[in-house]
Chain A
């Protein structure tokens, strides 16, 4: 039993990742407000940053610089990848919000239900 508990606690970073991932997806699916959907999408994307970065850190490891007396190094590649992913996320969010502004101008609302109702009348 103790092993099982410590197994769960040892992997707490993954539990946080999974919580953010599922919470973000839930917001995207459950909310009809277009801005809230984008917030959910951002949380979902953010969980991936954790997924990449946390396994890259080795406890007791140093940055990958060769020096005497240091044997264990953390992998720097995940950070670089996620830097790119953050840029992608920002671009997506910006474009999404831009679209919401245009939708608000065209329809006068950003609630999906109201927009679909209007769409049926056309």
Chain B
């Protein structure tokens, strides 16, 4: 029995992918909606257990290397979990699990009955793709998983009830495929120069050819491709429509995981493969990323202020928040990187909570237009209180997670001697105050009218999951030891490199 247990523990990295893929097939074969939800919940609750066990193992004994199918790396595909992607796996799988209890009622309300089993099938495929992107130690395998998750995401978005969701999914398909193809061109050039696809092996071999033209071109292609995927301003055009059109559950899941995994892959290439010295000292990546990030923080936030659909407003806010993450990368110091990684986690929590609130409102009044939300805070006080907490967190009020990330980012800016940047980080929070404030004013300080007057609190399953995330915004904001601690270890590991 113990022998078998040990055996299973060795297979954890494979299970992380195999379980959701199997679950997806089961959902598709047994086309019943209750069953689909049951399988998806079972699988997505198993995922965080596995990923937390792996992270604990990484923290005590160092990186896990798993030779897929028994083929020794670098010849076969290696699954490699170190502290950076271990942390990311925990984030993605946790969000995947939190979404599930919420999904039952929300999906039942928003998606036609004969498509519900397929929704869960595609959701599991998306989860498998994202976890695969995070866990794999092989450049081409990462591309395949990227496409699995992206194709699944296009379908999730197209399942939205509005016909504009179809156009949004199509636009995302075109831009997402372009991004992935740019990435794979970069990988092809690296493969031609180094003769390997394994991240660790590539990191060793690239040193000899680092200054050649194909490697420089590869860096450019991978940067542009991943920036399309992670929606760095001005490559974000697919994001607002996609988040607005998708079903509520899909928006919650995609907003809190998909862009984060793309950021991880970019970090992996910049720090582990090309090396921080090459990317940030020999090449002008820092000023480019800095300009884009600051533009994202200000322009996207300013656009958010003028949106009448709150889901779209939060989508623009996501573009702005991604600006903070890339800002941390551009700072290129362990402190800045800690800020970026901790913001990956924190942004997933708060944006997840905010989009869940929007899902609850859509569940009761059918849409997320600001004008229809007058006075809804008086009818759905518990739900809207979660919005206030997550909104304050987005602004960066002390005691919430948003403050922790901005604190690290500002500290890193000051450490680099960029005082102006620290002020810009603080200044951009005021734009968040305006757009969050607009919703709070409308929801709490107006008399309820129209559909909002008859609205009641959403079902308990949706309310509790929303509050789990909103509560986490405060819990991790007060006690940041765990998240920031792991993030700073991850940042140090990235700077140490794979070599």
Interface residues of A in 32-84 (CB under 8 A from B): 34, 37-38, 41, 44-45, 48, 51-52, 55, 75, 78, 81, 84
CB of B315 closer than 8 Å to a CB of A: no
Complex interface: chain B residues within 8 A of A9 (CB): none
Does any Cβ of B come within 8 Å of A91's Cβ?
A: yes
- Choice from B147, B174, B195 contacting A37 with Cβ under 8 Å: B174
Which of these, A37, A48, A75, contacts B188 with CB under 8 Å? A48
Q: Is the CB of A84 within 8 A of B144?
A: yes
The answer to whether A102 and B166 touch across the interface, beta carbons within 8 angstroms, is yes
Q: Identify the stretch in B94-102, B151-159, B344-352, B398-406 within 8 Å (CB) of chain A at 4 or more residues.
A: B151-159
Cβ 8 A contact of B192, one of A55, A88, A99: A55
Name A's B-contacting residues (CB within 8 A): 21, 25, 28, 34, 37-38, 41, 44-45, 48, 51-52, 55, 75, 78, 81, 84-85, 88, 91-92, 95-96, 99-100, 102-103, 106-107, 115, 119, 122
Q: Would A99 and B188 count as touching, CB distance under 8 A?
A: no
With A and B bound together, what is the CA distance between A65 and B147 in angstroms? 33
Flag if A95 contacts B155 (CB, 8 Å). Answer: yes
Residue of B at shortest CB range from A38? B174
**A28: nearest chain-B partner, CB-CB:** B174
* Closest CB in chain B relative to A48 CB, distance in Å: 6
Tell whether, in the assembled complex, residue B163 and residue A34 are in contact, meaning their CB atoms are under 8 Å apart: no
25 A–B contacts, CB within 8 A, in A order: A21-B185, A37-B174, A44-B178, A45-B177, A45-B181, A48-B184, A51-B189, A52-B191, A55-B192, A75-B195, A78-B191, A85-B143, A88-B143, A91-B147, A92-B147, A92-B177, A95-B154, A96-B170, A99-B158, A99-B173, A100-B170, A103-B170, A106-B163, A115-B167, A119-B167
Q: Name the residue among B144, B178, B181 with the largest chain A CB count within 10 angstroms.
A: B181
Using a CB–CB distance below 8 Å, which chain B residues touch chain A?
A: 140, 143-144, 147, 151, 154-155, 158, 163-164, 166-167, 169-170, 173-174, 177-178, 181, 184-185, 188-189, 191-192, 195, 197
Residue pair A88, B147 in contact (C-beta under 8 Å) = yes
The main secondary structure of chain A at its interface with chain B is helix
- The residue of chain B having its C-beta at the shortest distance from the C-beta of A91 within the complex is B151
Q: Which residues does chain B contribute within 8 Å of A115, judged by CB atoms?
A: 167
Q: List 8 additional A-B contacts (Cβ < 8 Å) besides A96-B173, A99-B158.
A: A51-B189, A52-B191, A84-B140, A92-B173, A103-B170, A106-B166, A119-B164, A119-B167
Tell me what chain B mostly uses at the interface: helix, strand, loop, or mixed. helix
B225 to chain A, nearest CB (A): 11
Expressed in whole angstroms, the Cα–Cα distance for A21 and B189 within the complex equals 14
* CB-based contact B151/A107 at 8 Å: no
Question: What CA separation (Å) do A41 and B177 show in the bound complex?
Answer: 8
> Would A41 and B174 count as touching, CB distance under 8 A?
yes
A7 to chain B, nearest CB (A): 14
Chain A minimum-CB-distance residue to B154: A95
- Given A92-B151, A95-B155, are A41 and B178 also a contact pair (CB < 8 Å)? yes
Evaluate contact between A99 and B170: CB separation under 8 angstroms. yes
CA distance A52 to B193 in the complex (A): 12
B167–A52 CB distance below 8 A: no
- Knowing A28-B178, A81-B140, the reply to whether A99 touches B166 (Cβ < 8 A) is yes
Contacting residues, chain A, for B166 (C-beta < 8 A):
99, 102-103, 106
Q: Is there contact, CB below 8 Å, between A48 and B185? A: yes
Q: Which residues of A sit under 8 angstroms from B189, Cβ to Cβ?
A: 51
Contact, CB under 8 Å: A48 / B181: yes
- Minimum Cβ distance to chain B for residue A96 (Å): 5
CA distance A98 to B164 in the complex (A): 15
Q: Which residues of A contact B140 (CB under 8 A)?
A: 81, 84
Q: A95 contacts B144, CB within 8 Å?
A: no
Residues in B whose Cβ lies below 8 Å from that of A95: 151, 154-155, 173
Chain B contacts for A55, CB-based, 8 A: 192
A103 B167 Cβ-Cβ under 8 A: yes
What are the 5 A-B residue pairs with the smallest beta carbon separation, nearest first?
A: A106-B163, A88-B147, A99-B170, A55-B192, A51-B188
Q: How far is the CA of A95 from the CA of B195 in the complex (A)?
A: 33
A34-B170 CB under 8 A given contacts A28-B178, A55-B192, A107-B163:
yes
Which residues in A have their C-beta under 8 angstroms from that of B181?
44-45, 48
If the complex has contacts A95-B151, A106-B163, are A51 and B144 also in contact, measured as CB distance less than 8 A?
no
**Which residues in A have their C-beta under 8 angstroms from that of B144?**
84, 88
Residues of B within 8 Å of A102, CB to CB, are: 158, 166
Residues in chain B near residue A38, CB distance under 8 A: 174
Are B184 and A85 within 8 A (Cβ)? yes
Tell me the complex Cα distance, A55–B191, Å: 10
- Contact, CB under 8 Å: A51 / B185: yes
**Taking the nearest CB of chain B, how far is it from the CB of A39, in angstroms?**
12
Give chain A residues whose Cβ lies under 8 Å from the Cβ of B178. 25, 28, 41, 44
